[in-house]
Chain A
Amino acid sequence: MFHQNIKIMKTTIILILFMMLSLSSLFAQGYKVGDKAADFNLTNIDGKKISLYNYKSAEKGAIVIFTCNHCPYAKAYEDRIIELDKEFKAKGFPVIAINSNDPELAPEDSYDKMIIRANEKGFTFPYLFDSKQEVYKIYGAKRTPHVYLLEKNGGNFIVKYIGAIDDNYNDVTAVDQKYVSNAVNSLLSGKNPDPNFTKAIGCTIKDKNYLKE
């Protein structure tokens, strides 16, 4: 009888632990500052695959930006993303842009239209298509544009800043805080970015599974 009780208790404890574990994995969505960023291997607009960990210009790190064609916030930041790449590629922090939208939900964000838009704007950086919609989930990107600033440490890329490009999508002349630019400059001078996390209004990443929720 006593043994049976212990057995039941053990099973209950194991069950509770299991439930807690599965709950925590449910809430642990995406990266936090300090996490190691996973590699990705996605098709660029020139048809070639680009992998983060084999990307040569990413000498010190990379500015990974989840963005797209159609979203007005993403459009508002196109020129500023080009500027970021121009300023920081030479310093070892190139921009890598990723479109994770499902073109069936956002026809303007198809691979063909990505090529057209990149040519129109003269993108100086890779613009990758996350066709399986896996990378944005691993990173935890919620909106476009959404920046993950990574720093190379040994062989790994470590997340150092997550958030917005700056604090005014509407008017570049009214920007007070150039979050990403300041964050990269902090890393270049051996400091951690402050702030290392910001929020901004943006478009949801268009995913059939997400919309069903």
Chain B
Amino acid sequence: MKFKILICIIFFIVSAQKSQSQNYQVYNFNQLEPLLNLKNDTTYVINFWATWCKPCIEEMPAFNQLHLNYISQKVAVILVSLDFGNNYQSRIYKFAQKHSLKPQIIILDDPKSNIWIDKVSPEWSGAIPATLIYNRNKRMFFEQSFNYKELEEKLKNFIE
């Protein structure tokens, strides 16, 4: 009996940990699309990335910093991961923990990318990293890597 309880406890701890590491929302494009077209007073900085994408990872601190520096303003940084394959939830979780990523992370799992790339921006070839900055008045798309200074300069076009 005691043994069974112990097993239960272990199972509970393991499953609790598992759920902690697998709490990112997985969207298809139809579910993500409203987030790319909100008409409120916030400016959205939406970065498309993946844990295996080297230039994406290199620019992640810039997005993290932007989020922290503008936390009191109406700016929302959202990291849309395009990871796929085995254990992508825990891969993203580990990466986010290691780099103390604070922005919201969403997973976009929708292989029919030919249909949705143009809906993000007709300028997008499909290569990542890619970043969309928009608010209700303005929209700009960047298929490039950013450092913090460049990223903040782009954001300032929207909030000043």
Contact = CB atoms under 8 A, between A and B. Distances in A.
Contacts of B82: 201
A204 B128 contact: yes
Contacts of A199: 113-114, 117-118, 124-126
Q: Which range holds the interface residue count of chain B?
A: 20 to 34
Q: Give the most central of A72, A163, A174: most B CB within 10 Å.
A: A72
A206 B128 CA distance: 11
Interface stretch (A31-39, A46-54, A164-172): A164-172
Given A167-B114, A174-B111, A72 B125 contact: no
A169 B127 contact: no
A59 to B, nearest CB: 30
Interface in A177-213: 198-206, 211, 213
Interface string A145-171: 000000000000000000110011111
A60 interface: no
Nearest to A175: B111
A142 interface: yes
A199 to B, nearest CB: 4
B61 interface: no
A206 to B, nearest CB: 8
Contacts of B50: 72
A89 interface: no
Nearest to A169: B111
Nearest to A212: B145
A72 B84 contact: yes
A199 B114 CA distance: 5
A106 interface: yes
Q: Which range holds the interface residue count of chain A?
A: 20 to 34
Q: Tell me if B's interface is mostly helix, strand, loop or mixed.
A: loop
A213 B118 CA distance: 22
A165 B42 CA distance: 38
Interface in A125-161: 142-143
B145 A211 contact: yes
Contact of A105 (B54, B111, B143): B54
Given A143-B126, A200-B126, A202-B126, A72 B52 contact: yes
Interface in B84-129: 84-85, 109, 111-114, 117-118, 124-129
B58 to A, nearest CB: 9
Given A163-B114, A211-B145, A213-B144, A170 B126 contact: no
Contacts of B124: 199
B127 A142 contact: yes
Contacts of B117: 199-201
Interface in A9-55: none
Contacts of B128: 201-204
A3 to B, nearest CB: 45
Contact of B114 (A200, A204, A205): A200
B53 interface: yes
A200 B120 CA distance: 12
Q: Give the most central of B113, B114, B124, B129: most A CB within 10 Å.
A: B114
Contacts of A168: 111-112
A111 B126 CA distance: 26
23 contacts: A72-B52, A72-B84, A143-B125, A168-B112, A170-B84, A170-B109, A199-B113, A199-B114, A199-B117, A199-B118, A199-B126, A200-B113, A200-B126, A201-B127, A201-B128, A203-B127, A203-B128, A204-B55, A204-B129, A211-B55, A211-B145, A213-B144, A213-B145
The 5 closest A-B pairs by CB, nearest first: A142-B125, A143-B127, A168-B111, A204-B127, A199-B117
